[in-house]
Each structure stands twice: as structure tokens, then as C-alpha cells.
């Protein structure tokens, strides 16, 4: 994707405080559509892209997490500062574009000035000029350029206004940017006195460059006032530091002293229930298409091994996972809207006090929320938590939150428990499962917090300092594209694994006895097929392996077939569904893929007995197993990477998977004692 660095290829780094319009600008330059999130650390990793061809400049562009200053306090800031000085692949930037929110000039110039003082080649991009104008002020950019010591441009990353000027300046000065410069290491001097001195300098700059827009009506009045000495300097300053009026109004409700937390829980509940209800009709449709495809394939290829591979192995295996794409996309749509609106920081603030009681931080909220999508980005998002202990504790509990890969599993199992006209209950139970995953993660955090130093070392100075950005209307295009991407990513991540595993599982459940001899006297063709299917499976390689794991599965009221599905789920949880579809041979029934899967599950018996394999209690057992078990290799790998050792991932694997087995055992046998089969 990135061209090799040639001598005329510029390496430009984008730097800016959180909420300064950095990612919007990056998207405009690169033509990509990264999500801009009103939350620090939203760009947790750096992204590199080429400048779009239409701009006619050969350049690589890097976007990195927002930073407040060059003195990092959190890991995401550390990465951003390190990457600014030296990108691992691209090295030192030829040019740094610092985004500065014009309506918060002094706060954002602070970082810009630090970077200029570090002797980078700097251009300042002044964003949100319109918001400053609404407040009645504008920036004299020539004067600002002159005083601060670098070129400044007013730009708008959404419309592209002003960016031409910036680019033509870059183009004209390409050669001078390439000249070797020696950087000052900023971290050498960073005590509080330095901060104060720098702010004094910036306030002076602000005073000189910020000019009030004089509309004609006011000019005369102002002259008169000046003569009477009514307009004081203090008054002007106050006006440009007013906070967004609409935000103040919304926060009166959403950050209300008593109702704020109630609204918070309402918003969260709506998010989780809607995943189920909104997606249901679309899922039924996709499911129906795949079932027809599988039937067609079997008809066309004939009832031989190739036909079975095509319809059972490939179409049903892949289809059973594709069915859940709508749900995943709706989950990401709602998360995207929440993120883009600016509510996340408020959520973090509202939940800080309760979370601090159990050793977490308000800043754990965003990682936990993304944990409902996937634990991997969630663990990376935990980098925004400054206190190491709180950060490790957050990472520790993240696998308990119900990630989107578990959604297909729950949906299938709940559809079994609540068939037909009881389906609405499934939505409520799913919301309850989500709620329970929050509770269990909180409980886990509280317990580990009590165990104190034994698991995660204590560390002092826990703090919570977070900007509450102005609310804004979520950009439909960005949210929609992000939703589309997450669906695509889900398929890309799970797709190949599922395809390969589907074929493997099909092979191991069909061979060596692909065409078993059965007694065909006095029975219909349908019965012959059924008999052949079960005979083929019973003499397959998977069955041989199954005998080894059977003792582990029996206490849970299950047999080896579910065991094989559970083990295959370790590559990715959603594989469980496709494995089930394969093992329980979902074909030749009318209706949708989901329906025939449920039919097959209803009719399956344990071994040669007449006892049903899937009963309410055994299904509840599987659900409980999935709620706790850490069955995701990628999560284990990222946990190792983010915590810096194997200690935490191994503890997570043993504790959560052990707990899953134990609780599932207790639930199944408890329910059976109570009389629920």
C-alpha cells in the first residue's frame, strides 16, 4: 500500500490534540474513511496512507493518537510521541502538520509551540474556523505565522476549504523540508514552571492574533463604548472562551446530577436490545438464501461426496456465519453513532465513580464498550488509561464482556430455547446476557482488586482528567462506511478460518466411511439417507477423536459432537455455529438455514439412546460456557502483547475457561435436579 520511500517522497506526520479535527483532515488527504471519534486515543494505533494522487504530491501521511503535550502520560500518548520522533519504518518526518482548533486557540497552540520548539518542520492547520466565527472572532493567520514561527493555514477537513493553499505551500517547499534537521528532545525540560512559561507566551500570541469580527452594526456602538471606556479587555476574552451553547443545553439533561446515570443505562440497554430486534428480519432473509443455495448445489452436483462437500462443507459452513453479519453491522452502527456524537466521554465521566470502587477507572468505559464488539481493539483502547494497575485490570476483565463473535452462538441457542412466537423473549434474554456479562466482569474486577497485589501490583495516583468535547451530529457517511467496514472485517477475519475449518470438519466427520453400507430393507429413501448420515458420522475420524473427549463432555450433559464444535471454536467463537451446522448435517429440509439447523438439533440423540442431546438445561449449559470461557487465540495473543508478559493471558485462560466449565456443570446438573430436563 505504501510506496517505497524515494528521495522525492515526503513523509508527513499529522499531530494534534484530541478533538482537533486531525483524523478528518487525514481522511481528506488520504481519501480513506477512518472513523473520527470524539474521544482521546480513538486512533489507538498509527495509520499510514499515501496522499491521494489528485493532489499531485508524492507523500506518505501518518495519523497517530491525539496528544495534549509532548510529555506523555499514557501508553497511547507515548506511542504517538515516539512515532512523531521516529516512525519504526519511515523514520523522522520531513514535515509535521499540527492541527489546532481555532476555537480553543491557547490550549491547542500549546502542543504546536512545543513541536515548533523541538525544531520540526511545522505547518499549523487551523480547524473549526466556523465555530470561532460564530463566537464573533477570527484569527489573523499572517500575524500568527509570523509570531509563532511557522506557516499557518485555515482549513476545513470536511469541505476541503483552504487545503489547496496548504498543499501548494508544501509542494513549493518540498526540497527545504527534505533538509536534515537536528531535533531537540522535548522531554528534557518539562517541569510545571516550563508549562506556565509556555502558556504565558501563547496567551500573548493569542491576544495579538485573535481579532473580533466587526460587523457594521456594532462598529459605531463600539467606538462609542471605547470613548466611554466601557469595553474592557476581560469582557472580550470571556466571550471567545464561551462554551458551545447547544452542548451546554444537552448536558443539562444527559449530565444531570441525578438523571444522568439513568439516561446512561437507558442508552446502553437500548444499544444491546436493538442488536437483536433490528437484525432479525434481515438475518432470516440471508439465512433463507443460503439454504436454497445449499439445496441447489446438492441437486446440481448429485448426492455424492462432491455434492456433500459443496453443500454441507462449504455453503452451509460459510452461510451459517454470514447470517450474522447484519447483527455485527448493527452493533457497530450504534457504537459508531455513540462515538461520533461525543457521548463517550460523558459516559466515562458518569461511570468513573462506580468503576473506581472496583479498581477500574472511568476511562475503562470505552475499552469495555468496545469489548462488546471485539476484545482485541478493546485491549488496545485500554492504553488510554494512565494508571498501569487500572489498565491491566481492565485488560484482565475484557474477555468476559460479550463480544460480537459470541452473538451468533447466543442467537442460535436462544432461537432453540425460544422458538416461533416466543422469539421476542430471546431478545430480552440476550439483553440479559449482555447485562450479566457486565456484572460478571465487574465482579471479577472487584475480586481481583481485593486480592490486590497478588495478581496485579498496586500503583498510586489514580486520576481522571478528560475533555468533554462539544456534541456534534454524527456524520452519516463516516458512520455508514465504518459499519460496512466492520461487516467486511468480520467476514475477512472469520471467513477464511471458517472456510478451511468447515472443509476440515466436513472431512473428519465424513471419512473414512464416506458411503456406509446400511440395511435398506423396507425403509424409504429418506430413512436410508438418515441412516447413512448417522452411520457415516459414527465411524468417522471425528468420532474416534470424540471418544477421547467424551468423558469431559458427559458431565455437561453433552456428547463428543458438541465437544468437537467447542474445540473448533477456539480459532474463533463463531466457528462453533458452522461446526454445528456441519456435524449435525443440515440439509434437505425446507425453510431457512437457521430453521433446518434447529430441526436437526431438536432431533439429535445422545449416542444410541433415545435421550435428547439438546435440552433446555444442556443449552443453558453451553450458553454459560460461552459467557465465561476464553476461547479465542487472538485475544490471548493481544493480551500478551498489551500486558508485556504471559502472566495475565495465562491466568485469564485458566481462570475464565475453568470457571466456564465449572459453572456450566453446576447449571446443567442443578437444573436437572430441579426438574428441568
Partner 1 sequence: MKTAADLKHGEKVIINCVNSKHPSAKRLLEVGFTPGQEIELVNRSTFNDPIAISIRGTVIALRRSDADCIIIA
Q: Which residues bind partner 1 (CB under 8 A)?
A: 68-69, 71, 73, 103-104, 106-107, 110, 190-193, 195-196, 199, 238, 240-243, 247-248, 251, 255, 257-258, 260-261, 345, 348-350, 352-354, 356, 362, 460-461, 463-470
The C-alpha R_g of the chain, in whole angstroms, comes to 30
According to DSSP, residue 87 is labeled B
Please give the grid coordinates belonging to residue 505. Answer: 470438519
- Looking at the Cβ atoms of 240 and 497, the one nearer to partner 1 is 240
Half-sphere exposure of 675 (CA within 13 A, CB side): 0
Between residues 346 and 585, which has the closer beta carbon with respect to partner 1? Answer: 346
Q: Bridge partners of 98?
A: 15, 124
> Minimum Å distance from CB 70 to partner 1?
10
All three cell numbers of 343, joined, read 457521548
Which residue is associated with the grid cell 473448533?
Answer: 568
Report residue 239: phi and psi, to 5°: -65, -40
Give me the residue label for grid cell 464444535: 565
Pick 40 or 367: Cβ nearer partner 1 = 40
In the bound state with partner 1, the residue whose beta carbon lies nearer, of 319 and 367, is 367
Q: What backbone torsions phi and psi does residue 377 show, to the nearest 5 degrees?
A: -65, -30
Least distance to partner 1, CB of residue 228, Å: 24
Q: Which is nearer to partner 1, 206 or 559 (CB)?
A: 206
95 DSSP β-pair partners: 12
Closer Cβ to partner 1, 212 or 535, answer by number? 212
**Cell matching residue 288:** 433463507
CB 384 within 8 A of CB 74: yes
**Min dist. Cβ of residue 500 to partner 1 (A):** 47
Q: Judged by CB, which is closer to partner 1: 196, or 548?
A: 196
Alpha helices in 38-161 (DSSP H): 75-85, 105-117, 129-134, 141-148
Nearer to partner 1, 362 or 557 (CB): 362
Nearest to 284 by CA among 315, 335, 319: 319
Q: Is 195 exposed, middle or buried (0-12, 13-18, 19+ CB in 10 A)?
A: middle
Tell me the closest approach of the beta carbon of residue 24 to partner 1, in angstroms: 18
Least separation in angstroms between residue 104's CB and partner 1 is 5
Find the distance separating the first CA and the last CA of the chain, reported in whole Å.
56
Q: Which is nearer to partner 1, 64 or 121 (CB)?
A: 64
Alpha-carbon distances of 70 from 16, 98, 105, 199, 358, rounded to whole Å: 10, 12, 17, 14, 31
Amino acid at each position: 500500500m505504501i510506496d517505497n520511500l524515494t528521495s522525492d517522497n515526503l513523509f508527513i506526520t499529522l499531530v494534534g490534540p484530541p478533538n482537533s479535527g486531525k483524523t478528518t483532515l487525514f481522511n481528506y488527504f488520504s481519501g480513506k474513511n477512518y472513523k473520527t471519534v470524539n474521544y482521546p486515543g480513538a486512533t489507538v494505533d498509527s495509520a499510514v496512507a499515501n496522499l491521494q494522487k489528485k493532489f499531485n504530491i508524492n507523500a506518505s501521511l501518518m495519523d497517530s493518537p491525539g496528544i495534549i503535550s509532548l510529555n506523555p502520560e499514557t501508553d497511547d500518548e507515548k506511542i504517538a510521541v515516539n512515532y512523531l520522533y521516529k516512525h519504526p519504518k519511515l523514520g523522522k518526518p520531513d514535515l509535521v502538520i499540527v492541527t489546532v482548533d481555532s476555537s480553543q486557540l491557547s490550549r491547542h497552540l500549546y502542543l504546536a509551540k512545543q513541536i515548533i520548539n523541538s525544531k520540526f518542520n511545522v505547518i499549523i492547520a487551523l480547524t473549526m474556523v466556523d465555530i470561532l466565527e460564530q463566537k464573533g472572532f477570527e484569527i489573523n493567520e499572517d500575524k500568527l505565522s509570523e509570531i509563532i514561527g511557522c506557516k499557518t493555514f485555515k482549513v476545513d477537513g470536511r469541505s476541503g476549504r483552504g487545503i489547496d493553499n496548504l498543499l501548494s505551500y508544501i509542494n513549493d517547499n518540498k526540497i527545504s523540508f527534505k533538509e536534515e534537521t537536528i531535533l531537540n528532545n522535548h522531554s528534557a525540560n518539562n517541569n510545571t514552571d516550563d508549562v506556565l512559561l509556555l502558556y504565558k507566551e501563547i496567551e500573548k500570541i493569542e491576544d495579538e492574533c485573535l481579532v473580533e469580527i466587526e460587523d457594521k452594526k456594532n462598529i459605531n456602538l463600539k467606538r462609542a463604548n471605547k470613548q466611554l471606556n466601557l469595553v474592557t479587555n476581560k469582557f472580550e476574552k470571556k466571550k471567545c472562551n464561551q462554551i458551545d451553547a447547544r452542548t451546554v443545553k444537552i448536558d443539562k439533561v444527559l449530565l444531570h446530577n441525578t438523571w444522568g446515570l439513568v439516561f446512561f443505562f437507558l442508552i446502553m440497554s437500548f444499544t444491546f436490545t436493538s442488536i437483536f430486534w433490528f437484525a432479525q428480519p434481515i438475518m432470516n432473509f440471508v439465512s433463507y438464501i443460503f439454504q436454497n443455495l445449499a439445496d441447489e448445489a446438492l441437486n446440481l452436483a448429485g448426492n455424492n461426496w462432491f455434492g456433500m462437500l459443496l453443500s454441507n462443507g462449504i455453503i452451509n459452513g460459510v452461510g451459517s456465519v454470514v447470517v450474522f453479519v447484519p447483527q455485527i453491522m448493527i452493533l457497530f452502527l450504534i457504537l459508531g453513532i455513540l462515538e461520533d456524537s461525543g457521548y463517550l466521554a460523558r459516559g466515562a465521566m458518569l461511570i468513573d465513580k462506580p468503576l473506581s470502587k472496583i479498581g477500574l477507572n472511568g476511562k475503562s468505559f470505552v475499552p469495555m464498550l468496545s469489548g462488546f464488539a471485539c476484545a482485541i481493539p478493546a485491549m488496545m483502547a485500554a492504553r488510554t488509561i494512565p494508571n498501569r494497575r487500572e489498565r491491566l485490570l481492565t485488560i484482565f476483565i475484557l474477555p468476559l464482556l460479550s463480544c460480537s463473535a459470541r452473538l451468533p452462538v447466543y442467537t442460535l441457542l436462544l432461537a432453540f430455547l425460544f422458538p416461533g412466537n416466543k422469539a421476542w423473549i430471546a431478545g430480552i434474554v440476550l439483553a440479559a446476557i449482555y447485562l450479566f456479562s457486565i456484572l460478571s466482569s465487574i465482579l471479577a474486577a472487584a475480586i481481583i482488586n481485593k486480592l490486590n497485589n497478588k495478581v496485579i501490583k498496586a500503583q498510586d495516583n489514580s486520576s481522571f482528567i478528560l475533555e468533554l468535547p462539544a456534541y456534534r451530529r454524527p456524520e452519516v457517511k463516516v458512520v455508514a462506511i465504518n459499519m460496512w467496514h466492520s461487516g467486511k472485517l468480520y467476514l475477512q477475519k472469520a471467513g477464511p478460518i471458517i472456510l478451511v475449518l468447515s472443509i476440515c470438519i466436513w472431512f473428519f466427520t465424513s471419512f473414512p466411511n464416506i458411503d456406509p453400507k446400511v440395511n435398506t430393507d423396507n425403509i424409504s429413501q429418506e430413512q436410508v439417507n438418515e441412516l447413512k448420515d448417522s452411520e457415516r458420522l459414527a465411524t468417522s475420524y471425528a468420532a474416534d477423536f470424540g471418544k477421547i473427549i467424551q468423558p469431559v463432555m458427559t458431565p455437561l450433559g453433552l456428547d463428543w459432537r458438541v465437544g468437537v464444535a467447542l474445540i473448533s471454536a477456539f480459532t474463533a467463537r463463531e466457528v462453533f455455529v458452522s461446526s454445528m451446522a456441519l456435524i449435525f448435517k443440515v440439509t434437505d429440509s425446507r425453510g431457512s438455514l437457521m430453521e433446518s439447523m434447529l430441526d436437526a438439533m431438536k432431533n439429535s440423540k445422545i449416542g444410541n439412546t433415545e435421550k435428547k442431546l439438546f435440552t433446555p438445561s444442556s443449552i443453558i449449559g453451553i450458553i454459560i460456557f460461552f459467557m465465561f470461557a476464553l476461547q479465542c487465540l487472538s485475544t490471548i495473543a493481544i493480551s500478551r502483547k498489551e500486558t508485556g508478559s504471559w502472566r495475565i493471558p495465562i491466568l485469564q485462560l485458566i481462570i475464565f475457561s475453568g470457571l466456564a466449565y465449572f459453572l456450566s456443570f453446576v447449571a446443567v446438573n442443578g437444573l436437572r435436579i430441579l426438574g428441568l430436563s
